Amino acid sequence: MTVNQRRLTQHYFMTAPMPCPYLPGRFERKLVTELRGPEANGIHDLLSRSGFRRSHSIAYLPACSECDACVPVRVACKDFKLSKSFRRIQSKNSDLVRSIVPPSATQEQFELFGTYQDARHGNGDMARMDARDYRAMVEDSTIETSIFEYRRTDGSLIAVALVDNLSDGLSAVYSFFDPTEHKRGLGTYIVLDLIAEAQVLDLPHVYLGYWISDCRKMSYKMRFQPLEGFKNGQWVSMSEPENSNHPDEGV
């Protein structure tokens, strides 16, 4: 069975309205589908190019009837150039050692994840995740996934990125880091490293999830130019507004 044939039998479901985690006072709905079977990677590829994201073994797309604030974005890696500020961040983190490992949850990762959630997202749903929930987030995947671990020279873990491998790029599913190391700009550094890895692999894109113009936590994604957004069924260029001020966030 080909990927196109498989896509014809893919089932999609609409979630019930839930409070939006990004825009207060609004509600979100998602179109979801399972990623199962031998064609899961191919289906995931196709859906990613249409703005879907992955969580566990499902792919989802915002489907809010009265809101289109969530814009899927990806970096066009071939034309990406390091700015002076990006070079400074790379220099600050030149002592780190990165390893790409299989998607297997560890206690060390979970402890760093908990520290990050408490400091950055203490009131969010992810802050209530226990070790079992974290393991499911990392290991409950039916497609090709990797973990990028970043360590200090003493071997201690400082940052982690869960990354999906696509035929046309890398997809940053989720990242977290030591919140006490704020001077390093680790959230930005992780994205820069994924772009560098995509360039080495000759992959054209790094997918960064959704950008929302009115959500400050997502504004950092605009820094990675050239950036493309999926609007009205196609990928279009998105320029960074002048005088933008961005926090350093993980994906």
Domain CATH code at residue 146: 3.40.630.30
- Residue 246 is predicted with a pLDDT of 55
| Element housing 211 (H / E) | strand 205-211
Any domain includes 248: no
Any domain includes 214: yes
Any domain includes 245: no
Higher pLDDT, 112 or 127: 112
% of the chain beyond a pLDDT of 90: 79
Q: b/e per residue, 83-118, with b = 16+ CB within 10 A?
A: eeebeebbeebeebebeeeebebbeebbebbbebbe
Reading the block at residue 180, the tokens are 């006490």
Residues 25 and 108 grouped into a single domain: no
Higher pLDDT, 109 or 66: 109
- Residue 2 is predicted with a pLDDT of 44
Residues 80, 234 contacting (CB under 8 angstroms):
no
Whether 171 has a pLDDT exceeding 50, the answer reads: yes
Q: b/e per residue, 52-74, with b = 16+ CB within 10 A?
A: bbbeeebbbbbbbeeeebbbbbb
Query: Domain limits at 80?
Result: 72-238
For residues 47-55, average pLDDT: 96
Residues 39 and 134 grouped into a single domain: no
Whether 207 has a pLDDT exceeding 90, the answer reads: yes
Cα–Cα dist 165/217, whole Å: 25
Residues 14 and 26 grouped into a single domain: yes
Mean pLDDT across the chain, nearest whole number? 91
C-alpha dihedral sign at 101, 102, 108, 111: positive
Query: pLDDT-based confidence at 204, cuts 50/70/90?
Result: very high
The structural domain count of the chain equals 2
Last residue of a domain, one of 12, 42, 70: 70
Residues 107 and 220 grouped into a single domain: yes
Whether 100 has a pLDDT exceeding 60, the answer reads: yes
Residues 50 and 173 grouped into a single domain: no
Residues 57 and 86 grouped into a single domain: no
